[in-house]
Amino acid sequence: MKYKITLILLAALMTGGLFTARSQTQVVEDFKPSSVNQPGKEYPMVNSEGRVRVQISAPNATQVQLDISAVKYDLTKDENGVWIGESAPQDEGFHYYQLWIDGAAVPDPGSLYFYGASRWGSGIEIPAKDQDFYAMKNVPHGQVREHPYYSKTSNSMRRCFVYTPPGYSKETNKRYPVLYLQHGGGEDETGWSNQGRANLIMDNLIAEGRSVPFIIVMDNGTWTMPRPQRNREEGERPGQWPPQGWADGFMNTLLKDIIPMIDANYRTLTDPEYRAMAGLSMGGMQTRVIALANPDVFSYVGLFSGGSISTEDVNNAPGFEENIKLVFISYGSRELENQRRGPWGDPKENTEKLKEAGMNTHFYVSPKTAHEWQSWRRSLYQFAPLLFKN
């Protein structure tokens, strides 16, 4: 009996002394620094299970927690005052997270920062099996341009980011279609190129010949101004008009400021058949409202985790059926499992009925992802090759 216990202890020591820790949670010890760490920072790390391990020196703290995907994980303190610990496995792709130090919610000093959840804060990248489509590669690259401009509708300076595709600077006689691409609630005009990697997705698609090159305009759809008085002289428009208040202000800016500014400053194809709009979550809902109200402005429509368009919507929006060349609807599979799909009915059913009614539709489900950026990266990757080819 004594001999047997010695053997077990010996075995535990030989496996690195981790027997006790592993008896509670089996953690695979193959952690690597996250790809979106600050330069030279070892932590946060991610392992092959998708667990996030963080580390921070806080010698006088009594409680430190990792807060990710709405769960808080207690860290443990070593003899040097350094706290360390890890989360349960996370879905593939990008997640926001934060640390709690004795009741204070703060960014992790080891990670890069991203704007989401209405704050600049930490983000982490769980390597995905399909991460190649948004990887930085040695292919021709477009540029992301920070573009300040004066907005008449808000009498203020605004800014957008504009992706110009590879070749734009050299082929100076060529004109390009434009996609207006919107972020979600609590995010801003930086989201699609930072955590969304829209520029790399496009660079890679164009390098493979799978997408025509086009310009992408990423502006700020958050609207906190008081709702402007409706101009009665414009008359009534049916269906989605007037749109919900939260889309109204941005629609005004988009139509009166942004599109004319882009057409004046970039070599765009200005015919509506070369103009698309898409967005994620709140940006998808804005796209829905704005496209239904303005089918003479856009020809391609993408709603990523942002509702769907029904035959009734289309029937109430004159010109939409005739002019719109594609209605693209997408969701993360976990959103559909959880019935998170907005107040506009079942998105798959709506999209199928629209197809039966004769419209060109595309329904995409991102496997094993939720209401998160991996769903939206994949949505753009599916959406872009369908644009401007009709």
**Nearest distance in Å: CB 275, a second copy:** 19
Q: Tell me which residues in 227-266 interact with a second copy (CB under 8 A).
A: 265-266
- The answer to whether residue 217 forms part of the interface with a second copy (CB under 8 A) is no
Instruction: Say whether residue 60 binds a second copy (CB under 8 A).
Output: yes
102 binds a second copy (CB under 8 A): yes
Question: Cα–Cα distance between 261 and 247 in angstroms, integer?
Answer: 20
Rounded CA-CA distance 73/87 in Å is: 6
Q: Which is nearer to a second copy, 27 or 101 (CB)?
A: 101
The Cα–Cα gap between 143 and 168 comes to 9
What totals of helices (H) and strands (E) does the chain contain, helices first? 11, 19
Which of 22, 145, 175, 355 forms a contact with a second copy (CB under 8 A)?
145
Indicate the residue among 38 and 390 with the shorter CB distance to a second copy.
38
CA 5 to chain CA centroid, Å, is 53
Cα–Cα distance between 308 and 302 in angstroms, integer?
Answer: 9
Residue 384: CB minimum distance to a second copy, A: 19
Question: Site for a second copy (CB under 8 A): which residue of 6, 15, 38, 48?
Answer: 38
Q: What minimum distance in Å lies between the beta carbon of 281 and a second copy?
A: 18
The binder of a second copy chosen from 46, 99, 198, 251 (CB under 8 A): 99
Closest to a second copy by CB, 57 or 338: 57
The only residue of 40, 209, 235, 358 in contact with a second copy, by rule CB under 8 A: 40
If the CB atoms of residues 181 and 359 are measured against a second copy, the closer one turns out to be 181
Q: Report the relative pairing of strands 119-126 and 93-101 from DSSP bridges.
A: antiparallel
Instruction: Single out the segment in contact with a second copy by CB under 8 A; choices: 34-42, 208-216, 287-295, 332-340.
Output: 34-42
**Quick check: 76 binds a second copy (CB under 8 A)?**
no
Strand partners of residue 73: 66
DSSP E strands: which ranges in the chain?
32-33, 45-46, 52-57, 64-68, 71-74, 76-77, 82-86, 93-101, 104-106, 113-116, 119-126, 143-151, 156-164, 178-182, 215-218, 275-280, 300-304, 326-332, 361-366
**Closest of 198, 217, 194 to residue 298, by C-alpha:** 217
Residue whose CB is less far from a second copy, 185 or 318: 185
Quick one: 23 or 172, whose CB is closer to a second copy? 172
Minimum Å gap between C-beta 208 and a second copy is 17
Binding flag, residue 172, a second copy (CB under 8 A): yes
The structure tokens listed for 315 are 């029937």
Q: Which two tokens stand for residue 3?
A: 């001999």
Contacts of 124 (CB under 8 A, 6+ apart): 34, 36, 44, 46, 52, 68, 90, 94, 95, 97, 111
By CB under 8 A, tell whether 226 contacts a second copy: no
Please, which residues bridge with residue 339 across strands? none
Query: What minimum distance in Å lies between the beta carbon of 101 and a second copy?
Result: 5
Cα three-residue angle 378-189-337, rounded to 5 degrees: 35
**20 contributes a contact to a second copy by CB under 8 A:** no
Q: How many other CB atoms sit within 10 Å of the CB of residue 152?
A: 11
Give the whole-angstrom CA distance, residue 380 versus residue 357.
Answer: 25
Check binding of 150 to a second copy (CB under 8 A): yes
Contact between 80 and a second copy by CB under 8 A: the answer reads no
Could you say whether residue 144 binds a second copy (CB under 8 A)? yes
| Residue 64 binding a second copy, by CB under 8 A | yes
- Nearest approach in angstroms of CB 115 to a second copy is 8
Among 12, 101, 269, 386, binds a second copy (CB under 8 A): 101
Q: Judged by CB under 8 A, does residue 148 bind a second copy?
A: yes
Where on the chain is the footprint of a second copy (CB under 8 A)?
A: 38-40, 56-64, 81, 99, 101-107, 109, 112-113, 118-121, 136-138, 141, 143-150, 157, 162, 169-170, 172, 188, 193, 199, 265-266
